């Protein structure tokens, strides 16, 4: 490949007293979203995993709210620490809404055209190549699976339904049919059934969101913002997450429906909800079963500190040496 590929990851230290104080000044409901902000202490292992499994990465952009991990080595030229004011207009700050933080990342001037977006609970779990994320021609790797978006409590489907409202102003079933060989693949397995059923309707019902790192073209952000800046700016005005938000998947949907992607296998990554019994994700980490894993926090975990220590121990065994991203 003759083009650079950057990684973008957003992170917050939810235990930082200054950050907690700032958030409390704006937060009306003091009991919401606590799980979204608690820190598992996994970020050093995220960087160790990247250095071991993707040494070819061009730059890593760590997005924070004016926070710097004490261990982070900013002398490493591959890492760029980005604060919200570096790419979000001051009139929207401070912001604690991940959707508002992620929608404008295309404004980061140093960011390459080809980049992969991670949440801080997305981990590279074995060696990956640039071709796991982009084709040789530069098209993002993704899974083009249609699936109805049905809003339910405790999910982001209300938000992704908002994304689909926008999508249907620009696309229809004919756009899927134009690129049908990318939406129906043997490698998608039984996921193809969702696409086939969805194609009964002339409008776009939604997509299967696999909650894995997403490969993006920076130009997609510019295009969608040029079309829908008014609506996207409503999300930037929401300091905290709202069911009226739009999110980063909107850009993914545009890439899929314009055919700007290359299919990948559904076995590429695995999503896990952490719980009081994490034998299965631990086994995945120990045996490198999937290339990418997601370890999603859950408020049902009865002993957070015990579970955190358990996963940290496994990561320490996998990645015992400090990376060059650490001091």
Buried b (16+ CB within 10 A) or exposed e, 310-326: ebeebbeebbeeebebe
175 part of a folded domain: yes
327 part of a folded domain: no
324 part of a folded domain: no
Helix (H, G, I), strand (E, B) or coil at 208: coil
133 part of a folded domain: yes
Q: Where does residue 36 rank: exposed (0-12), middle (13-18), buried (19+ CB within 10 A)?
A: middle
DSSP state of 113: S
What is the domain count for the chain?
1
Residues of the chain with pLDDT under 50: none
323 part of a folded domain: no
CA–CA–CA angle 84, 88, 89 (5° rounding)? 125
Domain containing residue 16: CATH number: 3.90.550.10
* Dmax (CA) of the chain: 56
State residue 34's pLDDT score.
59
The angle, 0 to 180 degrees and rounded to 10, between the axes of the packed helices 157-167 and 249-257 is 40
107 part of a folded domain: yes
326 part of a folded domain: no
State residue 31's pLDDT score.
52
Q: Where does residue 152 rank: exposed (0-12), middle (13-18), buried (19+ CB within 10 A)?
A: exposed
State residue 30's pLDDT score.
57
Buried b (16+ CB within 10 A) or exposed e, 110-140: ebbebbbbbbbbbbbbbebebebbbbeeebb
State residue 150's pLDDT score.
86
Give the structural domain span for 66: 5-318
């Amino acid at each position: 490949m003759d083009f650079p590929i950057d990684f973008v990851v957003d992170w917050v230290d939810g235990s930082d007293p200054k950050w907690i104080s700032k958030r409390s000044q704006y937060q009306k409901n003091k009991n919401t979203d606590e799980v979204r902000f608690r820190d598992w202490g996994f970020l050093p292992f995220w960087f160790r995993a990247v250095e071991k499994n993707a040494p070819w990465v061009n730059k890593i952009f760590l997005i924070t709210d004016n926070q710097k991990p004490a261990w982070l080595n900013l002398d490493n030229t591959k890492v760029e620490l980005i604060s919200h004011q570096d790419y979000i207009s001051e009139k929207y700050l401070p912001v604690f809404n991940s959707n508002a933080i992620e929608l404008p990342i295309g404004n980061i001037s140093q960011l390459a055209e080809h980049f992969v977006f991670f949440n801080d609970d997305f981990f590279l779990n074995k060696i990956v190549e640039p071709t796991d994320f982009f084709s040789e021609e530069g098209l993002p790797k993704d899974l083009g699976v249609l699936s109805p978006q049905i809003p339910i409590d405790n999910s982001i489907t209300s938000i992704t339904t908002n994304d689909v409202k926008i999508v249907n102003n620009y696309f229809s079933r004919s756009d899927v049919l134009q690129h049908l060989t990318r939406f129906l693949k043997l490698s998608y397995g039984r996921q193809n059934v969702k696409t086939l059923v969805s194609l009964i309707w002339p409008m776009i019902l939604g997509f299967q969101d696999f909650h894995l790192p997403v490969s993006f073209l920076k130009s997609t952000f510019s295009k969608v913002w040029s079309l829908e800046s008014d609506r996207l700016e409503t999300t930037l005005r929401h300091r905290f997450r709202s069911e009226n938000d739009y999110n980063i998947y909107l850009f993914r949907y545009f890439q899929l429906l314009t055919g700007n992607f290359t299919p990948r296998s559904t076995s590429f990554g695995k999503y896990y909800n952490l719980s009081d019994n994490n034998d299965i994700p631990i086994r995945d980490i120990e045996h490198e079963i999937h290339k990418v894993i997601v370890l999603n926090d859950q408020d049902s975990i009865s002993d957070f500190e015990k579970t955190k220590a358990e996963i940290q121990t496994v990561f320490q065994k996998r990645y015992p040496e400090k990376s060059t991203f650490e001091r």
